Chains A and B, each alone.
Chain A
Amino acid sequence: MVNRPTDQSSNLPIKLAILGAGNMGQRLAKAFEALSHVSIHYVYSRTLAQAERLASVYGAKPVKETAPIFADPEVDAVAICLPTFTRLESMSPAVASQKHIFCEKPLALNQAMADEIRSLLDGYSRTVMVGQVLRFFWEYVRLRERVLAGDIGRVGTVRLSRCVGYPGADSWFADPEKSGGVILDLLIHDLDFLRWAFGEVEQVYAKALTQSHLGTHDYALLNFRLESGALAHIEGSWAHPVGSFHQTVEICGSVGMLHYDNLTSQNLRVVSTAEQEAGPSSRISLPEADPSNDPYVAEARHFIECIRKESKPHIPVEESLRSCELAFRCIESARRGIPLQVSR
């Protein structure tokens, strides 16, 4: 992942606008700021006070409308960290004003939006990258490399798990019509990793609390048969303690087994006794990262490099859309209570 280009383009200054000053806006602003010759010019938030708070950290200009950002020719790129249901409101003007686009996951809320984004970005020549950050986690990259190298032989089963706390009843995450619930918003990471490392899914059977426990809990258990014939199981929880973050992987093959658990392999552990900072997104937990190996910095760096070198990101937009579409099938299986084929 670490790339040290020597050509002059590596110093090309990039001016960035952060759209959204919530949890991911804050996280990505920090990640982009860590890169040389990248500066944050604007921070947009619907709530000006929140935009001001984040903008002041980076000497950026806080705005509560996006129009000035898209109208400013100085701005090279936008990082969209806004709620999923508003994707098109920022994506369309970003395309119209020819900005490079970094968009937080999940890329689309539903099939209609996925189709619209697909046609919006069809033939778009600027850099577009989706923050499928799991593809920049050292552990997941290595797991995939071992699988593809055949180190564990023929894969029999894959178990992926991701457990965090409930985002809060007041948050837009709590409304599956806006966030897609735990399957789309949280498990998009693991669904994307599943496809990336093990190929396409043939069939899914899913159970979820998304509809039955609206506003209090969400939890999903997804079972898959992959086109390769391997079986997969994915757990996603918004029913664990607020502030906790647990991700695990277990892959069994004919000549070996791989296992990863972030709680037993941390080399940086931060425990705070301070009062939780109040705010609309303070309930969202993100993994602590070793600064030398921060996946958010790695994805930000990759995006910036793609702009400078005019190269395609490792994660094509179509890949992200396909992972979203897999999530939609899972949601539908859980809702209808039947196994569903996943169409190619």
Chain B
Amino acid sequence: MTTRLAIVSLEHVHAAHYLTCLRSLPGIEVVAVAESDQRRVSVHASLLEGLTVVSDYHELLRPGAIDAILICSANSRHKQQVLDFARAKIPILCEKPIATKCVDAREMLAICEANEVPLGICFPVRWSEPLRQAKRLVEQGDLGQVLAVKATNHGTMPGDWFVDPQLSGGGAVMDHTVHVVDALRWFFEAEFTQVFAYAATRLHPIPVEDVGLLTLEMSNEVFVTLDTRCSRPNRSFPIWGDVMLEIIGTRGVISLDLFPWTLNYYSESAGKLLADARDGDLSLRMLENFVGMIEGRAKLSATGLDGLRALEVVEAAYRSIATQQVVQL
């Protein structure tokens, strides 16, 4: 039986890529996209060919319309949309961060639980094969005792609603922290216990922070720094950014570049070097896991609870930035 899935909004930059991935997966059919912004619909016209496009996502809530929903709207819209689909008993996969406030995320979890609706969060980094290989190496003791992790998640400045605090909930710290935080929680099967953070708006004339530096401690006594920012020059940088982890152990060091510059493309038409990254398509495997869960053959990897845990770290980071104190979780 084919799962009929719809996508709420193309607002998030990942939506178009997810749509392409979903079309390559067996057992699933994307039947509709809800997008209220006609400009976005026309930008993605070729991608949307053959799909029903509705301007109001409430149309997807009527019984029997769809079997699953993927929410790719702006961060602050997640809450209401998740509540609506949960009440309609439709399984949900929601773009990260789960919400902009922990209090909202907790309500989302409660309503999903009350309606027995599974809620997944888009954390594709967990699906990186090199990261999984590193996890195996660490678990079999190749690195000895892990002592510290140095992590980065850099990007170009995304603009659009990402820099509108009402819609995004914050800048670089909000957008980038959760990926690495979730990956490390999953990697070590441990929780974050402490956060200290700096943030500033230094690079772009935007109303949210564009640089952030987090120092974290985990329940396994590993300390971590996470450099989270929109610092990659928008016009001249060869690629969107990076996710990198360096894991320091008593018996060695693992360096992970999740999106290495595999090919250098010196482009005359672009007037710069362009890099092609090899990512092994993490998103595809993440979506496959969600479909597998709906078909009853897989356990959902990243759940709403994981979304909440990651957001708790973000909220603590903002509290630390405001108070300049070390914040305990």
Listed in ascending order, the chain A residues whose CB lies under 8 Å from chain B are: 153-157, 159, 163, 203, 205, 207, 209, 213, 216-217, 219, 221, 223-225, 229-231, 233, 235, 237, 239-241, 252-257, 337-339
Q: Give the interface centre of A163, A230, A231, A257 by most chain B CB atoms within 10 Å.
A: A231
A233-B227, A237-B248 given; A255·B233 CB < 8 A: yes
Asked if B161 is an interface residue, CB under 8 A from chain A, the answer is no
Contact B213 A223 (CB under 8 A): yes
Asked if B55 is an interface residue, CB under 8 A from chain A, the answer is no
CB distance from A257 to the nearest CB of B (A): 5
Provide the residues of chain A in CB contact with B198, threshold 8 Å.
Answer: 205, 223-225, 231
In the complex, A237 Cα to B253 Cα: how many Å? Answer: 10
Q: A231-B198, A239-B250 are in contact. List 15 more A-B contacts (CB 8 A).
A: A153-B203, A154-B203, A157-B211, A163-B253, A203-B324, A205-B196, A207-B148, A207-B217, A219-B147, A223-B196, A223-B213, A224-B198, A231-B213, A257-B236, A338-B326
Which of A163, A203, A224, A252 meets B203, CB within 8 Å?
A252
Contact A207 B215 (CB under 8 A): yes
Provide the residues of chain B in CB contact with A155, threshold 8 Å.
Answer: 202
Listed in ascending order, the chain B residues whose CB lies under 8 Å from chain A are: 147-148, 150, 196, 198-200, 202-204, 210-213, 215, 217, 223, 225, 227, 229, 231-233, 236-237, 248-250, 252-253, 324-326
In the complex, A224 Cα to B211 Cα: how many Å? Answer: 12
In the complex, A33 Cα to B196 Cα: how many Å? Answer: 49
Contact B148 A219 (CB under 8 A): yes
A154-B202, A338-B326 given; A257·B237 CB < 8 A: yes
Which of B210, B236, B237, B252 meets A156, CB within 8 Å?
B210
Contact A339 B213 (CB under 8 A): no
Contact A257 B210 (CB under 8 A): no
Which partner residue on chain B sits nearest A218 by CB separation? B147
Interface SS of B by simple majority: strand
Contact B223 A239 (CB under 8 A): no
CB distance from B230 to the nearest CB of A (A): 9
Which of B203, B210, B215, B248 meets A223, CB within 8 Å?
B215
Which partner residue on chain A sits nearest B250 by CB separation? A217
Contact A157 B215 (CB under 8 A): no
Query: Between A and B, how many residue pairs show CB distances below 8 Å?
Result: 102
In the complex, A225 Cα to B196 Cα: how many Å? Answer: 12
Q: Give the interface centre of A221, A224, A255 by most chain B CB atoms within 10 Å.
A: A221
Interface SS of A by simple majority: strand
CB distance from B84 to the nearest CB of A (A): 39
Which of B215, B233, B252, B326 meets A257, CB within 8 Å?
B233
Which partner residue on chain B sits nearest A207 by CB separation? B223
Q: Give the interface centre of B203, B248, B253 by most chain A CB atoms within 10 Å.
A: B203
Which partner residue on chain A sits nearest B194 by CB separation? A337
Contact A221 B225 (CB under 8 A): yes
In the complex, A284 Cα to B154 Cα: how many Å? Answer: 33
Which partner residue on chain A sits nearest B237 by CB separation? A257
CB distance from A331 to the nearest CB of B (A): 15
CB distance from B126 to the nearest CB of A (A): 24
